[in-house]
Amino acid sequence: MVDEKKFFWEATLRLCSSLEIERALWQCFMYLRVFIPMDLMILSYISSDTGGIQFLAEANEKGGRRSDLLVPLPQETVTFATTDNLPDVMIVENPETHPVAKFAVRFVKVEKPSMIVVRLVLEGQFLGGLTVISQGQSRYAEKHASLLASLREPASIALSNCLRYQEVLKLKELLADDNRYLQDELKQLSGEEVVGADFGLKGVMEMVRQVALLASPVILFGETGTGKEVIARAIHNLSTRREGPFIKVNCGAIPETLMDSELFGHERGAFTGAFSQKRGRFERADGGTIFLDEIGELPLEAQVRLLRVLQEKEVERVGGTQPIKVDIRVIAATHRDLQGMIQEGRFREDLFYRLQVFPITIPPLRQRVGDIPALVQNFVTKKSREIGLRNIPPLAAGAIDQLKAYHWPGNVRELENAVERALILSKGEPLTFSDLHPLSSEEIDHPASTVDGAFLNLDKVISRHIRGVLDMTGGRVEGQSGAAELLGVNPGTLRHRMRKLGIPFGRQPNTKRIRQHNTPK
């Protein structure tokens, strides 16, 4: 004889003893097996959202464990399982013939199992089931089903608590994850502005405003240090996605072995060291913008997967089987000649044309020297605050003219570093930039390939060669006897290379320069 009140009390205490459902289920299993024959107990969740049976936890005599097994079901089977016409407790002697159990029994490591299934319902909503399984046929009688029926309500509460607890943990993980990756980004967003938007970058900002409200991909071309990330942020801040995340990815800073995991995420156990599920950068950017800086550094294998993301708007985690839909806006940036890389087989042509929907070229600092005063004032204020200067030192006489005369190979980033260095060395005195030495006109127009036996960098050698050919063609780039034909390259590729090197092209600039050289002194 079983004292039903005591049975209910003791079983309920164990079933609701912990939010760690695998521990609670095992404690309940160890108590119930004294009264009911069982080798396995499973708590599962069924809904149209999952599209099948989601095993949450299972317990046997060795212990309990959390499960993430999802058994897909046909839609008509899901509808049948969730209907209100089924009995609250069912004894299933032949699971292989049962319309629902036959899909799950293949994952149960019990030979010729008998089952009792308790349908769990809370506040009129069907949730799932509590299933006990025993090896052998005809193991269960009505007395066993009656005992389990008394636990229907506490088991429903335990299942509901488990689902809510898992949702809380998921939201907590997402929040911590986003906070970790976005904390620096949010700090930079406060008060950031595009210096030069009304002067040297006026044309760029007009293009930014044109494309910001669209969802089209954008690719930014420009030398290192020109401010491609600032322009990408401006596009994001002016778009309808401004409330969403802005995720920056430096494609050249991620090791190739970790590229897939970082960009697309991974499932738990996907590889050695994958102890938990991880969202990739594309998932974190859902609802916002992802900025792929230095896209030319992306390996070919990752380029293939990026192309799928752009086309299908979905990602697949490493070790995962289900595609994950993402709503993102892609902005790429590079200082490399992608068309040249295509010819060399280092960049996919289809990805290039998929990204180059709306290209924007950011001019180097030497082509917008009018922005230098505003940039210097901005950096002086910003860096003085960062290094803790109480009084902001003024600029020395002639400092701006000295900065304008410098050629700035490192662009805006080099200017920022120069200002910070001057602040550190100033000791309260007016800021000077005596360590910057401008190039002479002869060095700019006719750079030598070597200086005192030391070779110059490749860009300077290429610049000298292109300028020489342009002198021969009178500034003509395209067409018969043009510079592109003489150099044996595509005219578009040559123009892009010239922009990168800061070489003006067209008849007017080169004609003026030739006339100046031919003028008698």
Same domain, 124 and 107: yes
Return the pLDDT at 506. Answer: 55
Same domain, 139 and 246: no
Asked if residue 175 belongs to a domain, the reply is no
Return the pLDDT at 96. Answer: 83
Same domain, 245 and 296: yes
- Single residue among 138, 165, 192 that ends a domain in this structure: 165
Asked if residue 145 belongs to a domain, the reply is yes
Same domain, 133 and 35: yes
Same domain, 370 and 339: no
List average pLDDT for each run of 10 residues in the chain, which is 521 residues long: 88 88 92 91 83 87 87 84 83 85 83 89 87 89 91 91 85 71 51 69 89 92 90 91 89 85 82 75 90 91 89 86 89 91 90 92 90 89 84 87 88 91 86 74 46 56 79 75 77 81 61 40 36
Asked if residue 431 belongs to a domain, the reply is no
Count of residues in the chain? 521
pTM reported for the whole predicted model: 0.54
Number of structural domains (the chain) is 4
CATH number of the domain enclosing 309? 3.40.50.300
What the block records as the tokens of 258 is 């970790």
- Single residue among 426, 453, 477 that ends a domain in this structure: 426
Asked if residue 173 belongs to a domain, the reply is no
CATH number of the domain enclosing 56? 3.30.450.40
- Single residue among 342, 361, 380 that ends a domain in this structure: 361
Return the pLDDT at 218. Answer: 94
Q: What is the residue range of 481's domain?
A: 441-518
Return the pLDDT at 99. Answer: 84
Same domain, 387 and 293: no
Return the pLDDT at 191. Answer: 42
Distance CA 309, CA 286 (A): 12
Helical packing angle, 152-189 and 21-32, nearest 10°: 170
Same domain, 323 and 453: no
Same domain, 299 and 409: no
Q: Phi first, then psi: what are they for 283, rounded to 5°?
A: -65, -40
Same domain, 311 and 298: yes
Q: Angle CA(339)–CA(345)–CA(347) in degrees, nearest 5? A: 55
Same domain, 34 and 78: yes
Same domain, 386 and 240: no
Distance CA 77, CA 408 (A): 69
Q: Angle CA(399)–CA(372)–CA(199) in degrees, nearest 5? A: 145
Q: Beta strands 125-135 and 40-47: pairing type?
A: antiparallel
The answer to whether 365 touches 412, Cβ cutoff 8 Å, is yes
Same domain, 341 and 376: no
Distance CA 222, CA 366 (A): 12
Asked if residue 177 belongs to a domain, the reply is no
- State the DSSP string of 468-480: HHHHHHTT--SST
Asked if residue 184 belongs to a domain, the reply is no
